[in-house]
């Protein structure tokens, strides 16, 4: 049996309850990722069954998830402190918001907004902290010369 879903519309108004639902879904994904991480990985505990090589310099892998709809992208993960992180990106009105959720006892449980930014101008940059061999302007100039030859 095939199901047919209506095609997404470009300008879709979201009600406050829909925004809360998206946010709660993201928090749920954070929690699921936190709970599914390997034992000891979130607390930095040692794995006695498979000791890491002495040259290991990277953090242990953590569970992460991502999902999107026709407007929002939600990405979850775990930071180095073991706190769940949620990145929300609005693709229609270009913004990013970053939330951190901490578990534990009632006194240490929290969710907080870490950062938020309007990113439409960021996405128009030709380069920032770009360590490439050639800048965008250099490459554009070279390609323009090739087209004119």
**pLDDT per residue as tens digits for the range 37-94:** 444 444 455 555 555 554 444 455 557 899 999 999 999 999 888 889 999 999 999 9
* DSSP conformational letter for 38: P
| 3-state class percentages of the chain: helix first, strand second, coil last, to nearest 5 | 25, 25, 50
Q: What pLDDT band is residue 20 in, cutting at 50, 70 and 90?
A: very low
Q: Are 86 and 75 a contacting pair, CB within 8 Å?
A: yes
Q: State the residue for tokens 């769940």.
A: 84
* pLDDT value for 37: 47
The rounded distance, in Å, linking the Cα atoms of 117 and 38 is 32
Burial grade of 85 (CB within 10 A; 0-12, 13-18, 19 or more): buried
| Distance (Å, whole) CA 63 – CA 106 | 24
Query: pLDDT (tens digit, 9 = 90+) per residue, 88-145?
Result: 999 999 999 999 998 888 888 899 999 999 999 999 999 999 999 999 999 999 999 9
**Confidence category of residue 22, pLDDT binned at 50, 70, 90:** low
pTM over 0.95: no
| DSSP one-letter code for 26 | H
Check residue 149 and give its pLDDT: 80
Q: CA-CA distance, 135 to 120, in Å (whole number)?
A: 21
């Amino acid at each position: 049996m095939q199901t047919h879903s209506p095609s997404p519309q470009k300008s879709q108004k979201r009600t406050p309850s829909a925004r809360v639902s998206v946010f709660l879904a993201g928090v749920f994904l954070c929690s699921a990722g936190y709970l599914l991480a390997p034992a000891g990985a979130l607390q930095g505990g040692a794995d006695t069954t498979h000791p890491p090589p002495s040259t290991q310099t990277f953090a242990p892998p953590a569970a992460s998830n991502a999902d999107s709809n026709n407007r929002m992208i939600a990405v979850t993960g775990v930071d180095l402190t073991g706190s769940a992180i949620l990145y929300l990106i609005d693709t229609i009105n270009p913004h990013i918001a970053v939330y951190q959720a901490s578990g534990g006892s009632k006194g240490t449980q929290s969710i907080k907004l870490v950062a938020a930014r309007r990113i439409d101008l960021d996405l128009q940059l030709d380069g920032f902290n770009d360590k490439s061999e050639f800048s965008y302007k250099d490459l554009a100039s070279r390609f323009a010369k090739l087209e004119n030859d």
